[in-house]
Amino acid sequence: MKNILLAFVFCGVTTNVAAPKTDPDHKFSPRQLKADLAFMEKQLFDAHADPFTELSRPAYENVFAGINARLKDSMTATAFFKLIKPCIAPLSDEHSQLSIDTALQTGDYKNGTTFLPFSLLKKGKLFIVDELLAEGTGLQKGQAINAINDEPVSTCLARCAGYSTGFPSQRMHNALEQFGYLYTISRPGTYYSFRVKTATGKLITLKGVKLSAWQNYMTAKSGQNSGQDHEITYTRYGNAGYLNASSFYVGDDRQLDSLKKQLSGMFKQMKVDGVTSLFIDVSRNSGGNSAVGDALIGHFYDKPYRNYQCNFRRSDEYLNLLRSWGFNDEAYAREAPGKLIHSESSESYPPANDPDRFKGKVYVIVGNGTFSSAMMFATVIKDNHIATLAGQIPAEGHPNHFGELYNTKLPNTRLDLRFGVKEWVRPAGKTSDNVLRPDIIINVDKTPEEMIKAITK
């Protein structure tokens, strides 16, 4: 899943701003808060690839106007963050994020036991306790609950979904899976205990847990690597070769060239080993650079294939950022601000001569951790019939999505804002079923040997 606290890297860009030095307990004036809100609205409306995916412009403007009318008192950056975070939900952008730097988090938010300690499942019309993040709560896994602090669970969930990001169904999925975290950030006050009413009418008072408990839980639940292991590794299992591609991250062209050399060495070794089938595991790959996926394909496929289409928003914000880096894209600059620049699906050509190109059967393994450029890699494989997909339907990553991340900070509160300036459309085009469906369904929470056996049985 897309962890609400994890940073997913995909061709990210950022404005050049200083690190925050604000006292977390400092309160910003209504004028400063309104200025930040207006800045955020302009950034989204001018630079996002398609800010009106879900809401019309007037309807989206009303979202900001409603919050603006509530800004009558001074508040901390943490309180402002909790108030305005729902502004990015209507983007349908699974990469979008509004986050608050640790240095700006108030003590009760960062270190206090202020977070509700459980996640939920929905079974029919019932809301069931799924995972408990603390012991001795009085609740049991599988227990049905009806209300939190005298508020119906269904009402709580609807509000929590607005504090997540991605497509509507994705946001509701996150509201259940990250319920305790989203519940706390969706409430303006601070709570250290919570009254839970079960479906049988029993009232249970729970103590909260720290933010770190939710951070650890969501990192583990996401199915993605921690961001520390960026290597692609090769292991031989009998006649099968297994590539564990836990990330496509590379920091610059030099690192990309280095990784390409490592890949060449791996495929050379596969030829020496005489493996007859290849399994590429991206089930825990949160993305990085799509060029890594293209390089991989070239090592086992020798025909031209169709790549992604792109819709790119022309904005002065993005243009000014490029120019600040010394890039001078005159073609982009000549386009009118606000224009959506469309690029058709291009044809990619693997290297013509690769003596170590793998010629056996290839399987690509996907799962809940497959996201961003790893999702694009698997989708290109699927749409071009390059290899067989196996694994599980990714719960969070989607074939068509927004990317090329633009990052900035709100000028006063210094909250971090991130969203996509490009819309990526799969080679097969837009369909109502925007999910990646494996050809073979298997459980990816297994050892490589167990997955290989399940795929080839």
Q: What is the CATH number of the domain that holds 201?
A: 2.30.42.10
Position 329 scores a pLDDT of 85
Q: How many separate domains does the chain show? A: 1
- Whether 21 has a pLDDT exceeding 70, the answer reads no
Structure pTM?
A: 0.86
Whole-number pLDDT of residue 326: 85
| Residue 172, domain extent | 113-209
pLDDT tens-digit series, residues 220-242: 876 555 444 457 999 999 999 99
Q: 94-106: per-residue pLDDT in tens?
A: 999 999 999 999 9
The Cα angle at residue 49 between residues 45 and 52, in degrees rounded to 5: 55
Does a structural domain hold residue 173? yes
Residue 339 placed within a domain: no
pLDDT mean over 2-13: 35
pLDDT of residue 17: 42
Asked if the structure places residue 283 within a domain, the reply is no
For the cut 60, the answer to whether the pLDDT of residue 203 exceeds it is yes
pLDDT per position as a tens digit, 311-360: 999 999 988 887 887 888 888 999 999 999 999 998 999 999 899 999 99
Q: How far apart are the first and last CA of the chain?
A: 28
Q: Decide if 122 is inside a domain.
A: yes
pLDDT bracket for residue 204 (50, 70, 90): very high
Alpha carbon distance 107, 132 (integer Å): 24
Does the pLDDT value for residue 389 go beyond 90?
yes
Output DSSP code: residue 162.
T
Query: Is residue 4's pLDDT more than 60?
Result: no
DSSP 8-state secondary structure symbol assigned to residue 194: E
Q: Is 314 part of any domain?
A: no
Higher-scoring residue by pLDDT: 368, 88: 88
Please tell me which residue, 11 or 344, carries the higher pLDDT value: 344
Q: Could you give the 3-state DSSP secondary structure of residue 78? A: helix
Within-domain flag for 121: yes
Pick 159 or 228 by higher pLDDT: 159
Mean pLDDT of 126-132: 96
pLDDT at 252: 83
Look at residue 219 and tell me whether its pLDDT is greater than 90: no
Give the tens place of pLDDT for each residue, 175-188.
999 999 999 999 99
- pLDDT band, residue 433 (cuts 50/70/90): confident
Residue 173 near residue 398 (C-beta atoms within 8 A): no
What is the pLDDT, as a whole number, of residue 347? 92
* DSSP 8-state secondary structure symbol assigned to residue 90: G
Please check the confidence at residue 2 and state whether its pLDDT lies above 70: no
pLDDT of the residue at 208 = 96
Structure tokens at 150: 């005298």
The alpha-carbon radius of gyration of the chain (Å, integer) is 23
Mean pLDDT of the chain: 91
Share of the chain above pLDDT 70, in %: 93
The DSSP code sequence of 430-442 is --S--S---SEE-
pLDDT above 50: residue 11: no
| In-domain check, residue 350 | no
SS3 148: strand
Closest C-alpha to 425, from 400, 454, 397: 400
Q: For residue 146, tell me if it sits in a domain.
A: yes
